[in-house]
Amino acid sequence: MVHPDSIPTVNWPPPRIHTVTPVQTPLRRNIHRREPSDTFESPSNPLAPTKHKKQHRNGYEQSPQTPSFLPFSLNNPGAPRQRAFDLSKQTRLEPEWNSLAQKSHAIPAGGTLHSYQVQIANLVLRCQNDAIVIAATGSGKSLSWTLPLLARKEGISLVVTPYTSLGLDAEESNSCDGITSIFIYSEQNTMEDFEKVATVEMLVVYVCPEMLESPSFARLLHSKSWQGRLSGIYIDEAHLVHQTHVWRPSYSRIYQLRNIVGHNIPLMSFRHMP
C-alpha cells in the first residue's frame, strides 16, 4: 500500500513552456532613417529624361522612336528640311509687268497685277522652286501661266484641268494677244492638233489628267524639243488631287511627270480659298 505522502503533486493544468526559435533574416544595409530635423531631398531630378520602357510588337522588342515633333523647332526629325522666311525683301510690283500685261490686253488699261501673280511669274522665269497658290475664285489665276510666256515671247504652259467643261471654257476665254490656247481631249487630239501644239510660239495647253498620261500625249511629253519649250506645269483645282485620287487614279500619278521632264521645269499647284 502506497503512502499518500509519497504521491507527487501535479499542478493542473500543466504549465506550457514556449520555446522561441530565432529566425535569421537578411539585414538591410545602408538604410538611412530620416530624422525630423533632416530636410527632404528628391531622389532624382523630375525633369531629367527617363529611360523608356521596353516595348514589344509581334514578339520582338521595339526600339523607342524619336518624337517627330519638337516644339518651336525649324526642322523636325523625319520631316523635309526647311529654311526660315526671308522677309527682308518684300515683293515689289514692277511697272514692267503691269505695262506688259496692259499691252497684251491681259488686264484693262490702268489696271495692276496682284502680288502673287508677279511672284509666280518670277519663279517660273528663274526656274527656282515649285509653289502652291491659294487664291480666291476670279482673282486671275490664269495670268500666272500666261505672264511668263509674254515675258519670254515664246514657250508652252501645260495646265492640268479636272473637267472637260473647264478646259473648253479656258480655251475660249483667252484674251491675251499673241497667246493661243488649246484644249486636248478625246474629240480634239488629231495629228493636226498635235502639230499645232508643236509649232505655235506662245501656247497654253489644257489637258485632263487622263489624257495627260495617254500614249498619244506621251509623244509630246517625251519630245526633247517640246520639253525645251515647256515653261511650267500648272495643276488647276489642285484640291481634287486628294479628293478624287480613289476614283481618278490619274491624279495620284501626276508626280511621275518628274521622271519625264526632269526637275528644271517648275510645277505649280492652284486651288481656291477654302
Q: How many angstroms separate the CA atoms of 260 and 191, rounded?
A: 22
Confidence of residue 262 (pLDDT cuts 50, 70, 90): confident
Q: Residue length, the chain?
A: 274
- The residue that leads in pLDDT, 61 or 267, is 267
Please report the pLDDT score of residue 91 as a whole number. Answer: 46
Q: Would you kindly state where each structural domain of the chain is located, as residue ranges? A: 95-272
Q: Report whether pLDDT(269) > 50.
A: yes
Task: Evaluate whether 269 touches 194 at the Cβ level (below 8 Å).
Answer: no
Task: Evaluate whether 198 touches 222 at the Cβ level (below 8 Å).
Answer: no
Please report the pLDDT score of residue 72 as a whole number. Answer: 44
Q: How many angstroms separate the CA atoms of 24 and 21, rounded?
A: 10
Percent of the chain residues topping a pLDDT of 90: 12
- Please give the average per-residue pLDDT across 118-142, as a whole number: 86
**Residue 251: is it exposed, middle or buried by C-beta count within 10 angstroms (0-12/13-18/19+)?**
buried
CA triplet 215, 129, 131: central angle to 5 degrees?
Answer: 80
Confidence of residue 93 (pLDDT cuts 50, 70, 90): very low
Instruction: Report whether the peptide linkage leading into residue 13 is cis, meaning its omega lies within 30 degrees of zero.
Output: yes
Q: Report whether pLDDT(233) > 90.
A: yes
Please report the pLDDT score of residue 267 as a whole number. Answer: 92
pLDDT in tens, 182-212: 999 888 878 788 777 777 888 999 999 988 8
- Please give the average per-residue pLDDT across 244-270, as a whole number: 85
> pTM of the predicted model, to two decimals?
0.64
Q: What is the DSSP letter of 271?
A: E
Q: Across all residues in the chain, what is the average pLDDT?
A: 76
C-alpha cell at 232: 511650267
Task: Pick one of 3.40.50.300, 1.10.3710.10, 3.30.300.30, 3.30.365.10 as the CATH number of 95-272.
Answer: 3.40.50.300
Please report the pLDDT score of residue 218 as a whole number. Answer: 86
Q: Alpha carbon of 188 to those of 166, 168, 173, 215, 264: distances in Å?
A: 15, 11, 18, 15, 29
Q: What is the dihedral of CA 126, 130, 131, 137, to 10 degrees?
A: 90
Please report the pLDDT score of residue 204 as a whole number. Answer: 92
Residue 54's contacts (CB-CB under 8 Å, 6 or more residues apart) are 61
Q: Report whether pLDDT(174) > 50.
A: yes
- Please give the average per-residue pLDDT across 21-42, as a whole number: 53
Task: Evaluate whether 160 touches 236 at the Cβ level (below 8 Å).
Answer: yes
C-alpha cell at 103: 499691252
